[in-house]
Structure 1
Amino acid sequence: MALPFLPGNSFVDPTQRRFHRSQSLGYKNGYALPARPEVGIGGVPLEVNQLSLEELEELNNKRPTLTYGQAKQAPPEDFIPAHVAFDKKVLKFDGYFKQTVHESPNEYFRIRPVIIYYYLEDDSISVIEPHVENSGMPQGKLIKRQPLPKNDQGDHWHWKDLNLDINVTFYGKTFHITNCDRWTAEFMASEGIELQPPVGQPTDPYTDSRKETAALEAFTTPSTFDKLKQFLNMDRKVLRFYCVWDDRDSMFGEKRPYIIQYYLVDDTVEVREVHEPNDGRDPFPVFLRRQKLPKNRYNVESSFPAVVMELSDHEIKNWYGPADFGIGKSVLIYNRPFLIFDCDEFTKSYLNAKYDVRNFTPVEVSGPASRVPKMDLPPYNGFGSLEDSLQSCLSLVPQPPKKDFIKMLENDHKILRFEAVMDSVKPEDKGRRFIISYRLADDMITIYEPPVRNSGIVSGKFKERTRMTKPGSTPENPQFYGPQDMYIGAIVISFGHRFIITDADDYVLRYLEARPGDFPGCERTIESIRQKRMTNPSQRKVPVKGAPLKIKRTPGDTQRLIQEVRMQLQRDNYLNFGTLTEAFLQYDRDRSGRIDARELKNICHKQNLPLDDDIMEALIAQCDVNSDGMIDFSEFVKFLS
């Protein structure tokens, strides 16, 4: 009989050098298939998985006879090894064992719970004791995973031998099984084993005694006041009273406002100062730090060492409470009278609910305002701008006036231009044209006179960039010219010179229409420019440098120039017919084969033919056969041919 594989019964072959195991799984056509091992560890033949000589002889000599045909062999069943079929399948049983205690007079035994794991893969068993805090005993794995012997005949414990409410003995220690998990119960039922009802696990008397000893005892507080309850209920709840301290009777005294804050969480009081801009005082916000406030600080025993010790409830019996504060009451805080004249809404609701206070009428404490001397600004001396002169009066070291950088960035290079003529009694100044430029970035105005040949007047910059004040403005309240003051027909006066606005750029009209709210009162300027455009459409465009000039024609010049234009277009049509056709189709967006006169002019400009207006009108008249203002492509080609 073979010895069981237990410690002391195993022998090592010193001549063996190979210890590899044969594969029991394989792949065929991408699918995992079980493979039956033919040899054991190190190539040792497996007698268990091989047929004996008698069985092989019987299979060779057996000839089954059937009435109909040859017998069909049954398909062999797939061999699945145990470590594959029962991989990660474990039976779990709960149990306990009793441990006798000999050294302690207070206990006789202890109940130690355990968990028994049965591994179906190789029929091994492990016993684990759960960890108990502060038990004082080594716990964890009591028996490591291994096949456990059942008797002296070499039998091992099997899952068929396990059940509930039974005793099992592992290495001389008896364990009582009380319960199992759900999967274990289902597995045992599937194998035809009926489990007994689970039983309860007895409690450890020593553990119960420790729990009773460690349990907190409930005590009744003799005092009715609970500081912890006050902290939980009154945390972050503060009564706020507004008061004044009138110290005008003393030298250099004054009436100053304060805020008294009463913290309900610990009945402490804090006094804070109320600072105003330029009040001339150091910014110390706390006048009295947070502390319990006694009603009479000096009513203590003369033997009390106040230099080294603080006051406590033993020395002072009366402390300030919420009922001592109210509107109209005067609170004496360290010999300083504070008159409470108002409080916040939370304080009013708390006093009403707690002390049934209903009158919360504020007390009037403000007296007549003290007269503040007003600084008289000197008159404008005329040097520099008005803002620069004002800065020299506001500080000893003049600072540059502040600029609106946002406005400068948004309106950079944005200029409104107006045309004006000088209104003067001198005959040589009549009819002089000027351009008034208004810079939107800094509201400054520049006056420029365009050059006129043989006028006898030096043209150029008439007035440097500056802000122009209106007539009648004072240095205290200056009024400057703006776009709302430069409507058509308006008179602008600059240093004694009168200018009459006659026209404006199209950009002025578009800008003011898009932003009517930036310049209040600019509706008059917008309407005057519109009326100017309606009454005189020819003046919509201001003459610019490089614009077509009006030339006096002699009889026959127009026909000669048209013939030259036709010859140039014919030459372009012959040399570069695709470009001319492409230009025609570019303006014929609706693909109707017709374009208007304005688009024909653009085609001529595209072919580098800068024509005058009279030449263009004559050219259109020859191309427009139907006189409907539209030119067909066929008419245009016919004109070229």
Structure 2
Amino acid sequence: MATTRADGLPFLPGNSFHDPTKTRYHVSNTLKFKNGYAQQHSPVVGLGGDMLTANQLSESDLDELANKMPTLTYGQAKQSPPETFVPAHLAFDKKVLKFYGYFKETVHESPQEFYRVRPVEVFYYLEDDSISVVEPHVENSGMPQGKLIKRQRLPKDDQGNHWHWKDLNVGINAVFYGKSFRITNCDKFTMNFMESEGLVLNEPETAPKDPYTDSRKQPLRSYTTRSDFDKLKKYLELDRKVLRFYCVWDDRDSMFGEMRPYVLHYFLVDDTIEIREVQKPNDGHDPFPVLLRRQRLPKNRSDIHSSFPMIVMELTDHEVKEWFNPQDFAIGKTLFIYGRRVLIYDCDDFTKNYYRQVFGQTSFEPIPVSGLASELPKMKLPPYNGFGSLEDSLQNCLSLVPQPPKKDFIKMLENDHKILRYEAMMESERPDERNRRFIISYRLSDDMVSIFEPPQRNSGIIGGKFLEATRISKPNSSVENPDFYGPSDFAIGATIQVFKHRFTITNCDEYVLKVLEQNSDQYPLSTINSIRAAHQKTQ
């Protein structure tokens, strides 16, 4: 039903009329101010102050609107489409966290430094949680640099866990494969990412200074060239002027050493030294006239810095601290030239005049030098070390090329194939070894003893050769002069100790008694009687 106005006309198109008497056309305010702040306000009147009836709802209308369900009128609302799935390798592609840090490397070979501080950069790749550690390249550092740990997932502990970006922070020690890296700072992207994930980063730190790098930043050496006496003036004034000293090399402390005469030349033009040998006819020395070629001679060649690579580089003026000069030479003074003890005993007239004019010396009394070779020391044999036989060790001391020890061929020819056999049993605290039986063979040709164990059934011990043929020394005998066992010691009932094994002689064959009776003057009577009594019992 159409709404009617106050004049009774329906409110339809064509029935609205303009009031010619109306003069107010102002717009009502939709905002109001409260405590200085603008607040939204619904107007009550319209243009010109006319009352608005369309927006005034009654209580019944409000209740109807409150109980009205939009879904019954407009239907079920459409659900928004789900968000598109983005994989991690696409979402975090080319997103890398960068941390700055360092690690300390201990130095054992150099006396100048104890450790080095080596800076590193730790990259964390968010797409696959992998980590790489790279050391920035430093020019002329002398150390291999670059990628220390290639990109991979790094294990954190023994339980199979790996390092995650949540475990990284500034001011912590990260241990990768047993090496501790100190993280000091990170870049801006890493800081923003950590803050967006709710992680608070620690305050950045400064890496300690590397003492070796600081030492390399020292200023270079500066040298001042003397201008009052340059090389050209020195060459013009001192060319062909040579100081000549007569000296001897005292080598009497070594074997066949003697006093060998030499001439020492000191060239003033370039401060070089030459030492030449004084040759005599039929002196027995090889013709090597020059002991030291012309060169500058350092006072102590070993007094240089320990880090100087002497194996590949020669000494220069920067390494040698002191060189020999004319002030170091005087009659009666002993010089040590490359380990040789050289005594100056005289000099020529030009050298004497030079020292009078320059140094003011007046005494040039020569020193008499003469002497024979030192007495040859007597050779002392070293103690026996226990390796090999005593005779073989002695031959190594008697000649440079060892010769085999000499044998008694007469004894070998007379006693060839003469072997004395004895039956023995082992003395032992173990019951299973007391029943073991052995055959001891003694060779008269070279006094060597061999032991054989006959196999016994059901004994549990494999028989066979027990001892190779060797000479057996008696216990408590000296190592240098050992006392070996002989036929006189193999009496019936006697105990023989062979390398901590004790054997008791129980019997022997008849050939032993025959040999001992034929040479009764060489063997004790008690041994012969014990063997004779044992054979009489067996008969």
TM-score grouping bracket, smaller chain normalisation: under 0.3
Normalised to the residue count of structure 2, the TM-score between the two structures is 0.28
More helix by percentage: 1
